[in-house]
Structure 1
Amino acid sequence: MTQTSHQPPGTPDVLAPATLGPITLRNRVVKAATYEGMSRDSLVTQDLIDFHVRYAQGGVGMTTVAYCAVAPEGRTDRHQMLWRPEALPGLRKLTDAVHAEGAAVSAQIGHAGPVANPKSNRLPALSPSRHFHKTTLSFAKEASRADLERIVRNHADAAAMAVEAGFDCVEIHLGHNYLASSFLSPRVNHRKDEYGGSLENRFRFPREIVRAVREAVGDRIAVIAKLNMDDGVPGGFWLDEAIPVARLLESDGCLDALELTVGSSLLNPMYLFRGDAPLHEFAQIMPEPMKTGIKLVGKKVLHSYPYEDAYLLDQARQIRSAVDMPLILLGGITGRPSMDLAMKEGFQFVAMGRALLREPDLINRIRADADTPSLCIHCNKCFVTIYGGTRCVLVESPGRRTAAGKTPITG
């Protein structure tokens, strides 16, 4: 028998329909972007479609296709999804399949910047300033003004293609020290021109991206952004600057919601993933000399942080108190209690990642029984599986096909 939560009067029901800009979701739960590692030759595969269909069947309001790069040099791996006309038939097949299950679907668009893999892409990585990448053991070059102008156009073009491919929403990646986020970070951005120095200057490039995306799509689909509250490194972007950035984004009126996140894929990748750091598993999949390096100094790179439900709430509250625009709470949302807490605290949506990797049907089960607990143990071993198809290692894979040589969907 369906159970209801005990929320104060006027508090939204997280499992009831809700509007997000020009679209209506069947509930307020978003499957967060978790890089799938299931594209091939930068195109959709059946594995990628099946991955998102599982969450649609499992009851989420919207699922997010992760890390769709807007430019070839902006991929973290050369197989990562890349916006171009050849990708549209496969993306349309994906959106049609998700819609058939009653869910909406969002495309996360962005440029990896200094997090990109230049060896895999066979193209130089870009950064606000020249930066050494410890994982790839190579330097990212300083992006020129021409690069920045091109990448802003790339974002607009990607958003327009997302509309053509049937997406309901695009999520602009302004987090994790990807390119836009790295411009915000004083730790990474040492420029002396109008894109560096003051917060206004460091925000210039992300702001240009957001404005260009909204202009490209109008009100045809929703536009949200994933914004860092804290890079998790000394000298990085932090809450005292995230608050005024959120206010500026609100004043521009280009976004329908902000999803709040933390961490740096470049400098502190585990800061977002509270719980265990999978050092042994990570070392096993890396080639030498990285394998030996992780075994020797991995604890200095992959830190462990204690887990608790709704672990980003304290920081997110400060953004909530500063702006009126809709906000999406991420981080340790695992069951009805944390979902209801988010609603009570004034957040309009919640985003779930690892809990849904563990149980794609968790939302349906919570709808049937509000006391349903999440089975995720926050071991973070899913973090390592992104290189071969993201999954929870504690459950049997449901027939993955993605492997070297498998055919992507092009038409």
Structure 2
Amino acid sequence: MTLDNPGLLTPGRIGAMELSGRILQAPMSRGLGNRDGSVTQRFIDFCEARAAGGAPLVTTDGANIDNLGNSHRSGLSIHDDSMIPGLARVAEAVHRHGSKFGIELFFSGRVGRQWVSFRQPVSASAVPYVGAVPASYPREMSVEEIEHLIDLHVQGARRAVAAGADAIWLHGGHGYLISAFISPLTNQRTDQFGGTLERRAEFARRIVRGVREAVGPDIALLYRLNAMDYRPGGTDLDSAIEVAHLLADDSVDLIDVTGGTYESKEYSMQDASQPHGGFVGNALKVKASLGDRVKVSVVQKMNDPEVAEFVLAQGIDFVSMARGFHADPDFVRKVREGRRADIIPCIACLRCLDLFGLQGQPVGCTTNPGTSDERRRRIGIAPRPRRVLVVGGGVAGMEAAVRAARSGHEVELHERGSRLGGQVLLAARTAPDFQKFVGYLTGQLAELGVRIEFGSEVDVELVRAKAPDAVVCATGAKPGPWFWTMDDSIPRSDLFGAYSAPVGAEDRIVLIGGDWRGSMTALDLARRGAQVWIVEPGMELASDAPPATKGRVTGLVNGHPGITVLVETTVELVADGAVTLQSRDEYSALEGVTRIVTAEVVAANDLAEALAVLEPELPVHRVGDGLRPRDMYFATQDAADAVELIGLQSTPQHIRAGGS
């Protein structure tokens, strides 16, 4: 056994709670609750997997202290004693593996959704929340209601202890109720709970004091602090530090530094284009001010052990990680065993935010199809190993090959190009974290001994010669048809060719199609110096992107000086070096264009279609863009589905006999 990162694995203490390491599983919404807020077996399985993987502290989602504070149909709740038995089952599962168990108390406030709670949200003041559609219009709470909410937190804490919790988290970040009281932007009261910072912090302090009195000194009390709202007029770092000192006076054991609200999402959950440790600078200033009065942790892209170790070396007491544990339940165990390359990486693609926060679904993971479905997706050895031919070396094919090999199948992967990764290698030029997934899968294929054939154009005859029991067609996407009238006066290329074409400041490029792929391609071209016009027939950019990603992509595109966006616009004619555009029956000409690029792609399904006709008995599984152009999340889910089906199939005798 080796310890690549001893700091992460050094035992630590938060209050009276002893921990086996300095990395905490931070609270995160996972969408695994019943409609009444009770836990499901899937949630228990999720938590137990993280405990079995060595997480020192396993924490629930935010558990609603009252149904009025529920912002999601599948969120957890601790509003009633009937919730205790289910949470106790979670505690038992976590404690079985030696981990500590934490429950976060939660009330959404102005971020609440009346289509979930069927009631108008309440908050410190009647300041609308416009970070979702439809917007939320909370009413201001009376003093009596505030007192009631304080008591509900205390009751929730008592239930948490009764369920077996070792730690209680209070969510004072991201614009939820407690942080809405502290922020001058969302607290416009003039009574004892508003006005000065001390009065705005009184709601949080009353909760902390009430909870501490109720649970005693042996339960760790952790508080998530918005160090900055990243909104004009909101909480700033200096005021957050003052609040941290007040909370230390009230016997909080740890301050977990976070930031941003759902009206500044680009800060609260950072994406694949942003560096690790977005809140570390703020956390260091909080720690420097607090000294040894209270422990400090920090969250936000702590999913690289080297980054986490560096942060601890700067004097931060703990690091907290949500998405990293979401991607790999065995993160800590792999660090402990010196198997860092085997950690399934979180690539900050934001699919988890989209699935739960905006769609209300169980929160899966792009890089780990087993996340949130640990029982069904558990990889076991197939009772009858098969010979599996995987065609295509993008992430869908790579994931399928890895999962099939782990299941005991004999796997061969064929890639027509010279390297693995497919379109993700292109996307990684604007979202660098994506490259980590390709690197991880490449390493797993090597470790599993999967045979890879590069430069292989697979056709029906090659499939017959290989005589597999099943084929996974991960053949990706190909350029779509050209619909435009044009001569040869302007060079043209498809989306894939645009990435390899030499581009410079002298280039003026018209990109037809502003979907997600087109928008990312435009960014790559513009960052290489070209002037780009996106011509999108629809009313908005990236309409096919997941909602959280869409906001980030459109913001980057619209903010780039080298990109001009033309929506509700079509290319009607390319002739004599000019591009004729049409928008709402008005025409214009764009001169000096050096290249035309189309973003249109379709499934490259020729092989699958041919096999369906010529080898109808052969099980053929289409995955990823080879089934339908979509994003990486669906590619890996498709791959997992395909491998599960292969494990259930019977052997096709006609292939063994040499083909039909």
Same topology, TM > 0.5: yes
Alignment-derived partner of residue 19 in structure 1 = 13
State how far apart, in whole Å, the 2-side matches of 1:137 and 1:330 are. 28
Deviation at 1:59, TM superposition (A): 1.1
Deviation at 1:132, TM superposition (A): 2.1
The partner residue of 2:362 within 389, 395, 409 is 389
Alignment-derived partner of residue 257 in structure 1 = 254
The partner residue of 1:368 within 326, 337, 362 is 337
Residue 307 (structure 2) pairs with residue 338 (structure 1): yes
Alignment-derived partner of residue 130 in structure 1 = 126
State how far apart, in whole Å, the 2-side matches of 1:244 and 1:326 are. 15
Q: How does 1:238-249 map to 2 (within 5 A)?
A: 238-249=236-247
Provide closer, same or farther for how the CA distance between residues 268 and 2 of structure 1 changes in structure 2, counting only shifts above 3 A.
same
State how far apart, in whole Å, the 2-side matches of 1:251 and 1:52 are. 32
1:235 partner SS: coil
Alignment-derived partner of residue 38 in structure 1 = 32
The partner residue of 1:358 within 314, 320, 327 is 327
Does the 8 Å contact 1:163/1:220 carry over to 2?
no
Alignment-derived partner of residue 294 in structure 1 = none
Deviation at 1:395, TM superposition (A): 2.4
Does the 8 Å contact 1:64/1:105 carry over to 2?
yes
Does the 8 Å contact 1:3/1:370 carry over to 2?
no
Q: Which amino acid is the alignment partner of residue 54 of structure 1?
A: A
Deviations 1:331-388 (A, max 9, x none): 1212321222122111221111112212111111111117546622221122112221
Deviation at 1:77, TM superposition (A): 2.3
2:9 partner SS: coil
Does the 8 Å contact 1:180/1:205 carry over to 2?
yes
Deviation at 1:130, TM superposition (A): 0.8
Alignment-derived partner of residue 308 in structure 1 = 275
Does the 8 Å contact 1:335/1:374 carry over to 2?
no
State how far apart, in whole Å, the 1-side matches of 2:212 and 2:120 are. 29
Q: Which amino acid is the alignment partner of residue 97 of structure 1?
A: A
1:67 partner SS: strand
State how far apart, in whole Å, the 2-side matches of 1:370 and 1:313 are. 26
Does the 8 Å contact 1:191/1:197 carry over to 2?
yes
The partner residue of 1:113 within 109, 116, 131 is 109
Deviation at 1:4, TM superposition (A): 3.9
Deviation at 1:191, TM superposition (A): 1.1
The partner residue of 1:194 within 192, 195, 214 is 192
Q: Which amino acid is the alignment partner of residue 392 of structure 1?
A: C
Q: How does 1:186-335 map to 2 (within 5 A)?
A: 186-252=184-250, 254-265=251-262, 267-276=263-272, 306-323=273-290, 324=292, 325-335=294-304
Does the 8 Å contact 1:224/1:257 carry over to 2?
yes
State how far apart, in whole Å, the 1-side matches of 2:127 and 2:305 are. 43
Residue 60 (structure 2) pairs with residue 73 (structure 1): no
Deviation at 1:173, TM superposition (A): 0.8
Does the 8 Å contact 2:50/2:325 carry over to 1?
yes
RMSD over aligned Cα, in angstroms? 1.8
Deviates more, 1:97-106 or 1:131-140: 131-140
Does the 8 Å contact 2:344/2:368 carry over to 1?
no
Deviations 1:50-73 (A, max 9, x none): 111111111110011011011121
Deviations 1:256-285 (A, max 9, x none): 1111100113x2233121125xxxxxxxxx
2:310 partner SS: helix
Identical residues among aligned pairs (%):
30
Alignment-derived partner of residue 180 in structure 2 = 182
Deviation at 1:250, TM superposition (A): 1.4
State how far apart, in whole Å, the 2-side matches of 1:139 and 1:95 are. 37
Q: Which amino acid is the alignment partner of residue 113 of structure 1?
A: G
Alignment-derived partner of residue 379 in structure 1 = 349
* TM-score normalised per structure 2: 0.54
Deviation at 1:164, TM superposition (A): 0.4
Alignment-derived partner of residue 2 in structure 1 = 2
Provide closer, same or farther for how the CA distance between residues 73 and 326 of structure 1 changes in structure 2, counting only shifts above 3 A.
same
Alignment-derived partner of residue 100 in structure 2 = 104
Residue 65 (structure 2) pairs with residue 64 (structure 1): no
1:106 partner SS: strand
Q: Which amino acid is the alignment partner of residue 13 of structure 2?
A: T
State how far apart, in whole Å, the 2-side matches of 1:350 and 1:18 are. 11
1:321 partner SS: helix
**Higher normalized contact order (CA 8 Å, seq sep 6+, divided by chain length):** 1
State how far apart, in whole Å, the 2-side matches of 1:171 and 1:147 are. 22
Does the 8 Å contact 1:335/1:366 carry over to 2?
no
Residue 139 (structure 2) pairs with residue 141 (structure 1): yes
Q: Which amino acid is the alignment partner of residue 232 of structure 1?
A: Y
Provide closer, same or farther for how the CA distance between residues 79 and 365 of structure 1 changes in structure 2, counting only shifts above 3 A.
closer
2:165 partner SS: coil
State how far apart, in whole Å, the 2-side matches of 1:342 and 1:366 are. 16
Q: Which amino acid is the alignment partner of residue 219 of structure 1?
A: P
Alignment-derived partner of residue 295 in structure 1 = none
1:226 partner SS: strand
Provide closer, same or farther for how the CA distance between residues 329 and 155 of structure 1 changes in structure 2, counting only shifts above 3 A.
same
Alignment-derived partner of residue 160 in structure 1 = 158
* TM-score normalised per structure 1: 0.85
Provide closer, same or farther for how the CA distance between residues 255 and 370 of structure 1 changes in structure 2, counting only shifts above 3 A.
farther
- Count, aligned residues: 365
User: Which ranges of 4 or more aligned residues in structure 1 deviate by more than 4 Å?
Assistant: none
1:133 partner SS: coil
Q: Which runs of 5+ in 1 are unaligned?
A: 8-12, 277-305, 403-411
Does the 8 Å contact 1:42/1:82 carry over to 2?
yes
State how far apart, in whole Å, the 2-side matches of 1:190 and 1:393 are. 41
